[in-house]
Structure 1
Amino acid sequence: MEHLKIKRLTEDLSEKTGHTKEALTSQLESIIDSLPDTYSNLINEAFDKKRVPKEYMLSAILFSVSSAAGCTFYTYQNNYENYANAYFLVVGSRGDAKSEALKLATKPIMDFDNKSFDTFQNDLQQNQDVKQKQVLLQKASIEKAYTIMDYNSSGIGIRLDEVRSTFEKIKNPNSRDGLEWERVLLSAFSNDTLSYTTKTSGVYRIKNSYVTFFGGIQNQLLNSFFDRSLINSGLTDRFLLTPNITSNKHISRELIDHQVIDRFNKTINSLLNYRSDFEDNNQEVDATRVYYSDDADDLFFEYSQKLLDLKYQSTSPLSEYYAKMMIYLHKLALLCYLLKSSSIRTYEQHITVEDFQLAKKLLSFYINCFKSCVKSNAYSEIDLKKLISYAKKNNATQKSVVEISGYSKSQVSKVWSKIK
């Protein structure tokens, strides 16, 4: 990270930018309060009864909605077409309930996939050419992933409890699967066409790729995510990171309210049913375009310009991240529309000001989560002497070094006086 200039980092990663734990907690609670009750109730119940961190549950729910909807909805805004797929990475220690959040949020989709598999097995006895319907993909080879994408035109959701091994494959230039996974994740993010040739199954061509992703990684292994090869390829910029922010230290005897779970499951099922109808009529029915209201359109334009300004005002890696956040503004606005519409089972064709304001909150939250992870990881092993030497050359202050390095004032002061 030596290419990051300390003066710019002091501003970009300032405590005032909202990525302290207290600030992130406040942002998170504001988001939860703005969500439809179907989703906010599950987040709060899971936190109170199962000690699942609220931020993990939020990301898992967004992943579930994104996976269930697939590419059945899209927006065309500022000359760009965008869908609701997104990549989520939750960061924490072992035992932080990362997997439990995913389990709760994706249960209705897993049930849907289980029923689809049973149907597939029965139909296979009558027709060897029948295709398996599947929404979520767990551990699989790249060839299997292409097969499932080919069979499911609305796209797939990839869920991994631990992503480090996948990142290690991607970083390995000798791994064919790794290189192909990188290409899939880079291209499917913007819904580009994917093609792949196999020795056994021939050629796959996915014309409108849709992949949404959820994975977990331990704090100690976060440096593998910030590896230079992933940063240079642009893969790092495509992820919405969620560090551990909230915790519940009290065990509860109570179960999660079954009505809360039931309402959530029915809501996700409504999206799955919409998706199934779309796939069944894929040759005759186009994806649904969702429009912005006039007021929401004005807000979208203004905030897009703000993000573009921030891109040019920031230094790497934040400048590149802001560029991807301009795309995520489209995606999150559509996701917020889907959160609202699925909860009332009515898919009106307008994104409202309320939807967009929630999308802004989510975007700001994830930007600050990224800054928090950059700050905690990028300087965790930095040489303090080199940092102070670099700071002095750029006329930075001791306070600046303390703010961005994580070292205490006394530690910085002792070394500062020895560096000429």
Structure 2
Amino acid sequence: MAKIPRILLVDDEPDLLDLMELTLVKMGLETDRAASVAEAQARLAQTRYDLCLTDMRLGDGEGLQVIEAASTLATPVPVAVITAYGNAGNAVAALKSGAFDYLAKPVALDQLRTLVKSALKIPEAAQVEDATRDLIGASAAMQDIRARIAKLARTQAPVHIAGESGSGKELAARLIHRLGSRADKPFVAVNCGAIPETLMESEFFGYRKGAFTGADADRDGFFQAAHGGTLFLDEVADLPLSMQVKLLRVLQEKKVRKVGATSEEPVDVRIVSATHQNLSALVEAGRFRQDLYYRLNVIELVMPSLRDRTEDIPQLARALLDRLGGADVALDRDAEQALRAYAFPGNVRELENTLERALALCEGGHVTAADLNLAPALPPTAAAPGSKYPLQDYLDQTERAAILEALEQTRYNKTAAARLLGVTFRSLRYRLERLGIE
């Protein structure tokens, strides 16, 4: 017979304990109660719990002490905290200390049930090990990343993934989702820099029929599509300030209002964000709201660049060749050395593009250094003005000038610049990364 999950409830308000206990018993769960930090610590030491729910303010201490006691056990117990309404500081402090999630008072029973269901579906270690194999590499940096992702998957705290373009930020976000309690729910990835500002609110929150010209039916937005799962905000630094205000409110209230609607609807999503830009620097420059920064950056995961883990390149190159259809193609020693010596400003994405090109050029089932074409590009000033040689330098300079001109004309709106240049947004992003244009 399967073991019935047991939950420890910690609060000094008997009425709230009664309410939570009744709700959880109706879900078929077993509960114990504690009215103080000391009593909670004693119970955690004596009994194996599957989850602990604790108030942040107790008569003899704080919920942070309960979190610490639960996290230092031989088998750590996930903890969710209950905070006073509107006290975001306590919630963020608890999440940074290792809390699984938080509820605001007065406790909404539907949110309590959702939180408990999520907490009781934490993956087994074997599942974690299997899933993180997608992150290829045996370097210390990648071992640390795999361990961090496994840990982050056990919480509901917002995660911000930093790192250079092409370093695997979206892969990390997908793994956090796949290993967490929301794995059977949607993972919705949104490129914040690819949505025109005029459409952002309707795309994120949805709209009602008749809200504007062309709204001929009700439509859900990204938040509704990700309900119960994870919403991945890629390139979150590209959000305009007006949208940052709206996003902050949703994160605080856990409710959204569709365009044209008169009421809000609750949403249950985990937020994972990412950008290759320095968010804290953008905050200082006034281009990103500080309060939203603290909401998104509760826990930070920094993806290492490829040049910081060159020892992983041979293994990674082999895996990429296999994926590209080159299972029978060998990577010569000179090619391997050339790959390890190259800086790869575009990281894993550039490595994949390099190998795909080399696979098309190689002969006899061997990729050589010449096939890789990795000779470092000369700086723009190295060639004589007007010179067309070397050809690649000339083409790069011409392309760089055209892109910079388009960006200036569109006030650095990348979507508009791509349209002006006659290329897709994805193509423009690739060119910006390849040419090192920020």
TM-score (norm 1): 0.24
Q: Which has the higher contact order (CA 8 A, sep 6+)?
A: 1
User: Which structure would you say has the larger Rg?
Assistant: 2
TM-score (norm 2): 0.23
Instruction: Answer 1 or 2: which has greater helix percent.
Output: 1
